[in-house]
Amino acid sequence: MSGGLLVAGTTSDAGKSVLTAGICRWLHRQGVKVAPYKAQNMSNNSAVVVGPDGRGGEIGRAQAMQAAACGLAPDLRFNPVLLKPGSDLASQVVLLGEAVDTITAGTFRQLRPRLAETAYAALAELRETYDVVICEGAGSPAEINLRAGDYVNMGLARHANLPTIVVGDIDRGGVFASMFGTVALLDPADQALIAGFVINKFRGDRGLLQPGLDMLRQVTGRPTYGVLPWALDLWLDAEDSLAYGRVLGRPAAPHGTEWLDVAVVRLPRVSNATDVEALATEPGVRVRLTIEPAELAAADLVVLPGSKSTVADLAWLRETGLADAVATHVAAGKPLLGLCGGFQMLGRAIHDPVESRQGSVPGLGLLPIEITFDPRKTVRQSVGTGHGGLPVHGYEIHHGYVSQADPGLPPLLTGDDGVGEGAVLGAVHGTHWHGAFESDGFRRWFLTEAARLAGRSGFRVAPATSFAAARERSLDLLGDLVEEHLDTDALWRLIEAGPPAGLPFVPPGAPPS
C-alpha cells in the first residue's frame, strides 16, 4: 500500500496541523505505518532533528508533533522546506534541515524550482517507506496569485495524485462561503482532487449546522466528512505564536494557595514561542503573551522568548517602552527569563554582522555578557544538567554566542561536556537552550525559584506534572476526535483509492494551469 491524503485549509490556522496530527494518530492506532509531511512550512517555531550525517537540522515544530502522533522520531523529510521569516520582506530558507539562503519575494521565484524538486523527492522517498503519508498544505489552495509555482497545495496534490480534504474554522465565521469559494476558484484539474470538507472548532447543536452541510453538498457535489468540536485542551506545539490566545492553555487551579503570573513578551519576530508551553502545563501557573508594559509591571515572572531577528526586536522593545518595563521589573527583584534571542538581548552589547548587519548595538545591560553573531548557525540537540544536577534536555538554534562574560558568572545549565551554558545573576536568568523546561524536575526548580523571587510564598509546584504526558494526552485527544467525529470509513477509502471519480466542476473556476 502507498496511500496518501492532503489536508488543505480555507485559511492559515484553520486546523490543518491538528487535523493532520489527528488522522496520523488514528492511523497509528490501527497499526498503519504512517508518516506526516509538509512540503513547505513558513514558521519560526522549529524543532531540531539529527540527520543521517549526524548533524542537527531544522523542521517545523508542527511536523515534529505530527511525527510523535505517528510514533516516529522526527525526520528532515517530513518538512523538506522551512522558511523562517526574519522581516516582512525576507526569510531564511532551510532545505532538508540546513540553512542555505536568505530570500525575498523576488528571489524566491528563482529558487522555487529547486525547492519543489527537493520537496517532491522527499515525498517520493516517504511513500516508498511508509504505508500512508498524510500531507499538510500551507495557507489556502485558493491563493490564486501563487498557484503558478505552487508545490505545497494543489501543485503537490496534482503531482502526487493526492485526494484532498479542505478544513475550515467555523469559529472565524463564513466557513460555508470560504469552503465553496475555495473550490470555485480552482481550475478543473485541481477541483477534481478536492474530495470534501471538514469543519473545525464547532460549538453548539449539530442539528443547527446540518442545513448548511446539506446545501454545501448540493452546490459543490462534495460531502463533509465530519465536524470537529471545539476542544480547549488543544494548544500544545502551535505552528505559529499567532495561534495562541492571550492566555496559553487552560491553567489548572494552584497546588498551593497562590498563582504565579507569567508574562511573555510577544516579540514581532518571536521564534520558538513553544518554549513557554511547558510552564503553562503546571497547575497554578498563568502564562499570557502580551505587548503591554503595564502587564509586565503586574507579572511575577517576565519571559523574553526567542527571536528570529534579535537586534530588530530589541529596538522594538525600546520603542514600545517594554525595555523600561523589563528593567523596572528586575530592579524590583522580580525574576526575568531570557531564551535564546531573549537571552542575547540581556547582555551589555550585541555584535551582529550577520543577521541584522548593524554591527555593534547596546543590549539591555542586565547580564555582564556580550554576544557575537557567527555566519555558521548552531543547530543541535543538547543534554546536560541544571540546578542540583537535575537532568535537562533541549536544543539550540542560533547564530549568536557568548563571546565575553565576567569571570565567575554562574551558568544556568551545564552541558554534558562540562561547559556552562547561559547565565544567572540575581533574579535574571538566560539560556540559548530551547525546550529546557520540558524537563520536569528542572522546570519545577525554576518555577519554585521564580515564585521565591517574586514573593509568592504560597505557590507550590505540583509533584507529578509531566510535560511529555500532557503532549501525549493532547495527541490522543486528537485521535479520539477523528475517530468519534469524522467518517473514518470514507477517509480510509480516500487514502486507499485516491481521488473519487466524477467529482463535479464548480463554476466559475480558474483558467487551466
Q: What is the pTM of this model?
A: 0.92
Spatial separation of the C-alpha atoms in residues 415 and 437, rounded to whole Å: 15
Indicate the length of the chain as a whole number. Answer: 513
The C-alpha cell at 144 is 490564486
Spatial separation of the C-alpha atoms in residues 32 and 130, rounded to whole Å: 9
Alpha-carbon separation of residue 301 from 18, 282, 386, 487 (angstroms):
30, 14, 19, 45
Alpha-carbon separation of residue 32 from 18, 24, 66, 468 (angstroms):
19, 9, 15, 23
- The 10 Å Cβ neighbour count of residue 484 is 11
206-220 helix and 175-184 helix, angle to the nearest 10 degrees? 20
Spatial separation of the C-alpha atoms in residues 162 and 471, rounded to whole Å: 29
Spatial separation of the C-alpha atoms in residues 167 and 312, rounded to whole Å: 35
Distance of CA 78 to the CA centre of its chain: 14
CA dihedral 208, 209, 211, 215 (to 10 degrees): 160
For 304, the 3-state DSSP assignment is strand
Catalytic residue annotation = 340, 434
- The 10 Å Cβ neighbour count of residue 457 is 11
- The 10 Å Cβ neighbour count of residue 195 is 23
CA dihedral 498, 504, 506, 507 (to 10 degrees): 130
Spell out the per-residue pLDDT of the chain, length 513, in tens: 579 999 999 998 899 999 999 999 999 999 999 999 999 999 888 899 988 888 889 999 999 999 999 999 999 999 999 999 887 778 999 999 998 888 887 788 889 999 999 999 999 999 999 999 999 999 999 999 989 999 999 999 999 999 999 999 999 899 999 999 999 999 999 999 999 999 999 998 888 999 999 999 999 999 999 999 988 767 666 655 445 556 677 778 999 999 999 999 999 999 888 889 899 999 999 999 999 999 999 999 999 999 999 999 999 999 999 999 999 999 999 999 999 999 999 999 999 998 888 999 999 999 999 999 999 999 999 999 998 899 999 999 999 999 999 999 999 999 999 999 999 999 999 999 999 999 999 999 999 999 999 999 999 999 999 999 989 999 999 999 999 999 999 999 999 999 999 999 999 998 887
